[in-house]
Structure 1
């Protein structure tokens, strides 16, 4: 057991113990000292008090096995940790422990062949999570991210990031280098100056609506020293994101008047094209329509004479046929007031 736990059972408070360590030479020699996170919380005070009493420096660690036999004062403060079990929400196949010297709870799931982020993590605050070197494809939102200040997702297969993640103020450090990021959501602008994210070298699809990425990228690299290099695929070209303004600054949005004028021009062009290509068909349709209107309003005695439409298909390259066609048209024009020349169709 930890010596601190034993002292508390004897009626000592933490304040009493620390106060006594500065006034009297405490002899804890041959006590089974467990060098865990609980002992780590007071080791600074004991070391400070030991400046006055040489005997305190002989305290030997009994547990954990990794530190057994070591003198307490020779052990790095980072090694005073408490393991967290699966019962206390440590993800399967991961290593979790509390580390008071750095005011954090470490969750190490690196190289555990995970294909998605664990659904739970320890309930403590200030999580420092390592999910690197796995097969995770999506950076999903999890509730434990609200208690996380740093997460490492490098060397995975992440193609997309949940936009909600960028709004988590607690999450100060995000590392997603060496992944397969294809897009960056505009919500990334919700990140404060105290937060930083590391993409590394990536290539994404961009548009001129993403000109904000130029300013954002410059601020990230300047404030945090993060070497993010983002290549944009835009208008069939590959450019650095920090130079997007060179392409997009010259573009001006079209006004509503411009769209209306363009529509009118297109409509006129299509109308003229139809009139030219289908002039005979249009003439016949108009004639039928006119005849229908006149017959509706005229008496039966004043009916218009019957009108017939004749279509002639012929080979204009044949001189004999062409001569005959001209003769037919000539005779028709003599006997009728109107004659529409037939449309020539090559056979």
Structure 2
């Protein structure tokens, strides 16, 4: 069975078009036979029930409830018992709240005009899939929640929410996928449209056709459609197949309205019906003018936004944003300025800056110049243009330096690479010498008024710039040759300096080792030698304990061996630092495993402090033994690599045995033959009991 809603909607659109929709609330009682049910009050506070009074009416009949000008404060308690209700008309009662009426799934018309409603929630009409017409006008509604009037299962074609106290309307209660008749929000206090749910309209759908009216609401600014779900204003005409009525709104016709009107020019007659002639309320020069006519007559250039000092406009300047040209115009002409403005208003557009007729002598680089498309600095006292300016304004389209008094000390050569469509150099005088001879060549092919560009020269005074090369060219050739020779010499010197610097840095440790002069005096130290090696290397450990240490002891050196002279578990950074401060020579035995610092923090600490002492105190020595005969290419630590690279490390000769006398000579002064060496007796005694003769070779230890 075709629903009454579907028949009515088809009837209105086919018979009357939109004018039929505008004619008012549909009256199903005149078109279809509905059985009337009545109200019986159950209390003096407006509570009631509904009842059937016609004996010929049964519960399966289509019914209507009409109770106008009553004192009903609540929906009837048993309303859900009458699920075949099609129409409810409760005009001018005292209802403050709409109870759960989702049970009335056949309801198609609901008239609650002139009641006392204050709020419509998004569950108020939930489940009323057949509802076609809703009148909640002349209530006291201050809020309509998002999706209260439009939802997945709501297809309300006629909505009248006029003459309430709404201050905003959410976009979700306006747009509807598919046709509708009317959304009336007129005569409220609506000043803005919102998008509280952050919806983005689907470009694959068409919303409408239908009419939405906001007549006689205090709108001051045009709705920002990009914040109302329209991701791109270009899609606006495709999305909305319905019209708006903003009659009576006090619109300011400015740059915020212009983008919508520009992009909707081809659909403006459809979106903005001719029957609604909306006019500008501001600014004064557009007051009373038809917005539709201004759009159709291509007069949207007049829709601008003035910017005041509080929003960044320089003092005394006039700033105007023109969204049509995507330009912010800053007019500071004839204000007695001596420099460029310190700042410009923030904008997403490019700038046009006019500082003509001032006393500016220097065109210096400002951050905002990179966003300037048009720069007019004519009729000033320009004497200098900073080199960095041309790089900043490389994207400029229009540059005017015309009619500047005096003469420019120089013109940056990079100006010839500007891609500006318009370059005005009329009556500009430039100081010219051999360095600026390029100006003559440039003016010959640059499309400027070259006859009024002049050169100021020491020899010839003021001449046309385009002729400077012909007059002064021969003198510049000699200077150019000298300049080339000097430039080559400077380049060679710079190259030598750079190479020397690079080499010095790369081999800085090698240079320090080679140039270091050892102090001849012994100095006062508690220990002669601090031995550092990888104690986890068994072969190396046996050589140190059985050969190296006994040899050094026999030579009279006072040695410090951490594994022997430090209590177990007591090896830390502070102990190593204290001992190294009291030691003259740091003997490091480099092996492959010694270079793997991970898991060996002690050897890393030892080397760090030993190197610092070696650099700062010329009494100190570092003696390095290359136990594994490692080439420098296999060593990563740069300081150890430097010792090996300059051959300051003693190579351990695996086959012939180590010449221990080489170690003795490398250590040099400082034998403590006549002094008792301080060490840990328990460990020394254990070591000396097993000490063999010094001549034992490594091959016998393996």
Structure 1 length as normaliser, TM-score?
Answer: 0.63
The whole-number CA distance in structure 2 between the counterparts of 1:46 and 1:94 is: 33
C-alpha deviation, 1:20, in angstroms: 7.0
Q: Is the 8 A contact 2:247 2:276 kept in 1?
A: no
Shift of 1:39: 0.4
RMSD after superposition: 2.9
Change (3 A) 1:56 1:98: farther
Structure 1 residues 1-347: aligned runs within 5 Å:
1-5=220-224, 13=230, 18-19=236-237, 23-52=241-270, 55=274, 58-75=277-294, 76-124=299-347, 125-168=349-392, 169-183=394-408, 185-195=410-420, 196-220=422-446, 222=447, 225-226=448-449, 229-234=452-457, 235-251=459-475, 252-253=477-478
Deviation at 1:71, TM superposition (A): 0.9
Question: Structure 1 or 2: larger helix share?
Answer: 1
- Stretches of structure 2 that go unaligned for 5 or more consecutive residues are 1-219, 483-702
> In the aligned structure 1, how far is the partner of 2:387 from the partner of 2:367?
14
How many pairs align? Answer: 251
- Cα deviation for residue 107 of structure 1 reads 0.6
Is the 1:154–1:175 contact (alpha carbons within 8 Å) kept by the matching residues of 2? Answer: yes
The question of whether the paired residues in 2 share the 8 Å contact of 1:137 and 1:157 is answered with: yes
Give the CA deviation at 1:93: 0.8
In structure 2, the CA distance between the partners of 1:244 and 1:157, relative to structure 1 (3 Å rule), is: closer
Cα deviations by residue, 1:202-255 (Å, 9 ceiling, x for unpaired): 3333223322111222233x2xx5556222233235432212232234344177
User: Which whole-Å deviations, capped at 9, do the CAs of 1:72-93 have from their partners, x for residues lacking one?
Assistant: 1343211111122222211001
- Bigger radius of gyration: 2
- Aligned to 1:253, the other structure's residue is in SS state helix
CA contact (8 A) 2:411 2:430 kept: no
The answer to whether the 8 Å contact 1:57/1:72 transfers is no
- Cα distance change, pair 58–155 in 1 and its aligned pair in 2 (3 A): same
Note the C-alpha offset of 1:100.
Answer: 0.9
**Cα deviations by residue, 1:305-339 (Å, 9 ceiling, x for unpaired):** xxxxxxxxxxxxxxxxxxxxxxxxxxxxxxxxxxx
Worse overlay, 98-107 or 15-24: 15-24
**Separation in 1 of the partners of 2:443 and 2:256?**
42
CA distance in 1, matches of 2:395, 2:289: 37
Structure 1 pair 204–19 and aligned structure 2 pair: CA distance change class (3 A): closer
TM-score (norm 2): 0.33
